[in-house]
Amino acid sequence: MNRNFVDLIIKKRDKNELSTDEINFFVEQASDENFPDYQISSMLMAMYLNGLSYRETSDLTMAMANSGKVLNLSEIEGIKVDKHSTGGVSDTTTLILAPLTASCGLSVVKMSGRGLGHTGGTIDKLKSIEGFNTEISDLQAMTLVKNNGIVIMGQTENLAPADKRFYAVRDVTGTVESIPLIASSIMSKKIAAGCDALVLDVKCGNGAFMKDFESAEKLADTMVEIGKNVNKRVIALITDMNQPLGNSIGNSFEVIEAMEVLKGNLNGRLKEVSLELGSRMLILGNICKTKNEAVNMLEENIKNGKGIEKFRKIIASQNGNPNVVDDYSLFPMAKCKKVVKAQMSGYINSINTYGVGKASLETGAGRRKKTDLIDYGAGIILRCSLGDRISEGEILAEVYAKTDEMCDNASEILKDSIFIDNKPSVKIKSIIKVIGE
């Protein structure tokens, strides 16, 4: 193996495959904080321009996963199944399917992140519950899963540290939009989190990172192939993000909406996608044999209340106030409100989902940079969906923020993000394609 880093850069620059040992050496060197960024960026640019084979991508994934501590979940019985979404607007599926699948007997160790940009993060949403603790140690996580079947925790600092170094460099060198690098980044963290199997929700549309189907399919294919190469069962669902998944955008609002689904009070796209993802988790976890059996079990645990009761137990076991399940007034709520009304009659023809996400940022519900503080009571409630027949003056959305000025700014963005026409939109399936099933 060549251990001259410059020679490795040249090898990849010239469109040659790197060996497993060479990729391990690259990650090992790059994990050293004293190693120069310019050499890392040169290698990443060579990878960006010339691509990586599935074998190279799998090797890079495992090297990144092993660059820090790998969570050992062997003490927990059964197959540990994780779920990951590539990010969207009003994507609250984790807060539905995690307690719901746990109520069906699946052991769930859900390691989630915080939101950045126009997409929200599960940890931020849970922080809207007074006292809820996501800073969980490995030992605490094991205890919670053994006692309650589930834990939802923040990502630990030593989880795939090489990925953090690479991402910081990619972000400032124009190498973010590389499917092999995106896939290895996602999969390395999930493998380091100790999962045996993984269900992926790859978003596709104007509110997603992958705008077109071809890119989303390529990313999904790559991650499923990585799973095969590292002996992890992976199923990927490509789901539509040409409109927000639910009706609520903002941390308190999204937790409430998830609870309403678990109580059986809400149907629609959010529930549909949650059941599709959750059913695959139950199949991979050997709880159910078929999708119909799994969906029926999930539906039954909504109907009989086991799903929402599991959510209540999660909150209580992680030091949150479980009374929020019954009393939504215990959630933070921004004091200023403004409604956005339709300027004409017609049909909701299209929604710029990215614009809706930007509007939620204006309310204070999200963060533009990691150090930004979040207003947990701010956000947007949509009162319309694609294809709806709308009358002039009808309320399209309600905007909540700390100040009237913030409400006004968010409202202006929303007005430019919801398009009304005299023709209805073409109906888009929530589930576009399933890969690896």
Q: What is the pLDDT of residue 395?
A: 98
Whether 84 sits among the annotated catalytic residues: the reply is: yes
Domain 5-51 and domain 332-421 have a common topology: no
Q: What is the pLDDT of residue 2?
A: 60
Q: Which of 42, 185, 188, 274 is catalytic?
A: 185
Residue spans per domain, the chain: 5-51, 81-326, 332-421
**How far is 206 from 158, CA to CA, in rounded Å?**
33
**How far is 187 from 196, CA to CA, in rounded Å?**
12
Q: Which of 59, 124, 163, 375 is catalytic?
A: 163
Q: What is the pTM of this model?
A: 0.93
- CATH architecture assigned to 5-51: Up-down Bundle (1.20)
Top CATH class, 81-326: alpha beta
Q: Which of 170, 190, 203, 367 is catalytic?
A: 170
Whether 189 sits among the annotated catalytic residues: the reply is: yes
Whether 118 sits among the annotated catalytic residues: the reply is: no
148: which DSSP letter? H
Q: Which of 12, 80, 83, 84 is catalytic?
A: 84
Q: Which of 83, 189, 310, 313 is catalytic?
A: 189
Whether 163 sits among the annotated catalytic residues: the reply is: yes
Q: What letter represents residue 141's amino acid?
A: A
Q: What is the pLDDT of residue 370?
A: 72
**How far is 17 from 55, CA to CA, in rounded Å?**
9
Q: What is the pLDDT of residue 114?
A: 66
Whether 170 sits among the annotated catalytic residues: the reply is: yes
Q: Across 36-107, where does the E strand assignment appear? A: 81-85
255: CB partners within 8 A, 6+ apart: 92, 95, 125, 126, 128, 129, 324, 331
Q: What is the pLDDT of residue 119?
A: 64
**How far is 266 from 258, CA to CA, in rounded Å?**
9
Q: What letter represents residue 211's amino acid?
A: K
- Tens digit of pLDDT at every position of the chain (437 positions): 667 899 999 999 999 999 999 999 999 999 888 899 999 999 999 999 999 999 999 999 999 999 998 988 888 889 999 999 998 999 999 999 999 999 999 999 888 876 555 666 898 999 999 999 999 888 898 999 989 999 998 877 788 999 989 988 998 898 988 999 999 999 999 999 999 999 999 999 999 989 999 999 999 999 999 999 999 999 999 999 999 999 999 999 999 999 999 999 999 999 999 999 999 999 999 999 999 999 999 999 999 999 999 999 999 999 999 999 999 999 999 999 999 999 999 999 999 999 999 999 999 998 877 778 899 999 999 999 999 999 999 999 999 999 999 999 999 999 999 999 998 877 789 999 999 98
146: CB partners within 8 A, 6+ apart: 75, 76
Beta bridge partners of 110: 152
Top CATH class, 332-421: alpha beta
